[in-house]
């Protein structure tokens, strides 16, 4: 989503290479490009004016710090103002001290409100809460069934009764929550194609009957400034506590998320970054400011890695790598962890200084699923000893995984290269253990370090003498000849 605006900001700040003080003229010249970039990203016009006025006031006459380029200093000022624009600090949910916490979800039809209810229920369940989903959207026939399906996937109860008005239904849901010992009630209310009196009256009636602790507005980032306009209309009729922005994984230009807080005065609580139920994240203004400016988001990258990789399994894998026992089963586990972290292109965008360089790169991520499927078609013995896989086994594996023998061969080739590389890590660690500790080097060793360094050949061969190394190379040569014959 921020690919376009990040690229534009990168081009702008590359031009700022002036020295001395940041004068009024060169600041205005740079900010003209910033203004154009924000407007092209569909940021509200008045928001852009106010934002640039604040940046200019802070930047003009600012003395350049020692060791810091003027362009970098402007980036820092823009970064700080972006955070202030989108809301400082992380907005959290205020839970009720006694009884169930009631969360009312409002929004226009098509904004992803029902799916967001399911995502929020999953997030709260992971935090140890017991949520209850309430199907109060009686305008869209499929909404009730959709919520029931989501509840079934999550193991979360869904409340619905026929013949009741939405406000009466929500009031009955609060009673059911007490009976079922649920501590959070999520009300999925009806939406419309546009804001009208009927919609507002219905939502206002539900709000009056249930007295929700939190009222969230769900908006679609793909609608750009229409999302800001609808948020402003809802805010005039409902006491909103925050906004949830969906479809940030789409091709929107990012203007809505920059404008929302400034126009409505309400914090962005969560953002939807995908269609899956685990694709709802708390909104961190500082992290998104860094992403908009092309500075990456290493904290989000680390959190994704931690959620995808089990710490105990990671430790076991490290030990297997050091002992040169890395096999295809371990390789498959790593592929699945990468797929669990999400799009590889998105992950590259979170790494500082990397995202912009690979902005136009097309990455074929189907290779991960293909390789995982191929390994899944192997026997346990084949995963542990890939050298057993001859042509007949390749045909069987390819047939079982729906791939070709060339795909199987490519996987084995990549795995062999990876295993060799990982084997060197273990050898380097062994070499490090043999090195003298700090302060233990004699003057003679300092003068001739090669005298106590291990034989470089052993890093790769893992043999104790020259004869064994020779036999090892002959065996490898025989294996290669046998592999060529089997191909023929």
Q: Is residue 151 within 8 Å of residue 158, measured between CB atoms?
A: yes
What percent of the residues of the chain are helix, what percent strand, and what percent coil, each to the nearest 5?
Answer: 60, 10, 30
DSSP labels, 255-266: HHHHHHHHHH-P
pLDDT for 111 equals 85
Model-level pTM?
Answer: 0.62
Q: Is residue 100 within 8 Å of residue 177, measured between CB atoms?
A: yes
In 78-163 the beta strands, taken as DSSP E runs, fall at 101-107, 131-136, 158-159
- Beta pairing class for 158-159 and 101-107: unpaired
pLDDT for 415 equals 83
pLDDT for 463 equals 41
- CA–CA dist 246, 212 (Å, integer): 22
* Nearest one of 216, 228, 191, 289 to 45, comparing CA atoms: 228
pLDDT for 12 equals 65
pLDDT tens digits, residue range 396-409? 999 988 889 998 88
- CB within 8 Å of 377: residues ≥ 6 apart: 396, 397, 398, 400, 401
Average pLDDT per consecutive 10 residues, the chain (488 residues; last block may be shorter)? 63 58 65 79 83 80 51 73 77 83 89 92 92 90 90 93 89 92 92 75 90 91 78 83 83 71 85 86 81 57 53 67 76 74 59 51 70 88 87 90 89 82 58 49 50 45 55 79 77
Q: Is residue 272 within 8 Å of residue 279, measured between CB atoms?
A: yes
Q: Is the dihedral of CA 201, 167, 223, 225 positive or negative?
A: positive
pLDDT tens digits, residue range 246-305? 887 765 566 777 788 888 888 889 988 888 888 888 888 877 777 777 655 444 545 555
Residues paired with 326 in a beta bridge = none
Which DSSP state fits 454?
P
pLDDT for 298 equals 43
pLDDT for 464 equals 46
CA 331 vs. chain centroid, Å, equals 22
pLDDT for 182 equals 93
- Taking residue 209's Cβ as centre, other Cβ atoms within 10 Å add up to 16
Residues paired with 158 in a beta bridge = 133
- CA–CA dist 273, 341 (Å, integer): 12
pLDDT for 396 equals 92
Domains contained in the chain, CATH given: 3-86 (1.20.120.140), 101-295 (3.40.50.300), 297-434 (1.10.260.30), 442-488 (no CATH)
């Amino acid at each position: 989503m921020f690919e376009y605006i990040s690229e534009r900001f990168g081009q702008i700040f590359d031009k700022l290479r002036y020295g001395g003080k940041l004068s009024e003229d060169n600041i205005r010249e740079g900010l003209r490009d910033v203004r154009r970039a924000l407007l092209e990203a569909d940021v509200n016009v008045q928001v852009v004016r106010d934002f640039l006025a604040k940046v200019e006031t802070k930047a003009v006459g600012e003395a350049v710090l020692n060791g810091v380029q003027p362009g970098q200093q402007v980036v820092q000022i823009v970064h700080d103002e972006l955070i202030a624009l989108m809301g400082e600090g992380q907005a959290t949910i205020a839970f009720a001290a006694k009884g169930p916490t009631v969360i009312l979800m409002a929004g226009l039809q098509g904004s992803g409100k029902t799916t967001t209810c399911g995502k929020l229920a999953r997030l709260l369940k992971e935090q140890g809460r017991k949520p209850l989903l309430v199907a109060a959207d009686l305008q869209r026939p499929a909404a009730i069934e959709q919520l029931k399906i989501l509840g079934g996937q999550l193991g979360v109860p869904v409340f619905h009764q026929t013949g009741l008005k939405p406000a009466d239904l929500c009031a009955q849901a609060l009673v059911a929550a007490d009976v079922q010992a649920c501590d959070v009630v999520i009300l999925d209310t009806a939406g419309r194609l546009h804001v009208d009196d009927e919609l507002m009256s219905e939502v206002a009636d539900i709000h009056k009957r249930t007295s929700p602790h939190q009222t969230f507005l769900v908006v679609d980032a793909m609608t750009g400034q229409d999302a800001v306009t609808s948020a402003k209309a809802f805010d005039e009729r409902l006491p909103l506590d925050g906004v949830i922005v969906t479809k940030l994984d789409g091709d929107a230009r990012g203007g809505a998320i920059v404008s929302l807080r400034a126009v409505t005065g309400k914090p962005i609580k969560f953002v939807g970054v995908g269609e899956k139920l685990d694709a709802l994240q708390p909104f961190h203004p500082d992290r998104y400011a860094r992403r908009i400016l092309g500075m990456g988001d290493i904290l989000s990258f680390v959190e994704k890695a931690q959620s995808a990789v089990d710490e105990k399994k990671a430790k076991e894998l490290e030990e297997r790598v050091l002992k040169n026992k890395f096999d295809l089963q371990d390789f498959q586990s790593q592929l699945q962890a990468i797929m669990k972290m999400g799009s590889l292109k998105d992950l590259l965008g979170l790494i500082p200084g990397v995202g912009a360089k690979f902005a136009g790169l097309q990455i074929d991520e189907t290779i991960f699923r293909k390789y995982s499927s191929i390994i899944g078609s192997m026997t346990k013995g084949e995963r542990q000893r890939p050298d057993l896989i001859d042509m007949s086994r390749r045909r069987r594996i390819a047939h079982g995984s729906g791939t070709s023998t060339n795909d199987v061969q490519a996987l084995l080739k990549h795995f062999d290269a990876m295993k060799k590389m990982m084997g060197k890590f273990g050898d380097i660690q062994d070499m490090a253990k043999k090195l003298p500790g700090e302060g233990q080097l004699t003057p003679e060793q300092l003068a001739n370090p090669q005298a106590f360094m291990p034989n470089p050949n052993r890093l790769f061969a893992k043999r104790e003498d020259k004869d064994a190394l020779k036999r090892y190379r002959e065996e490898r040569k025989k294996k290669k000849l046998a592999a060529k014959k089997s191909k023929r």
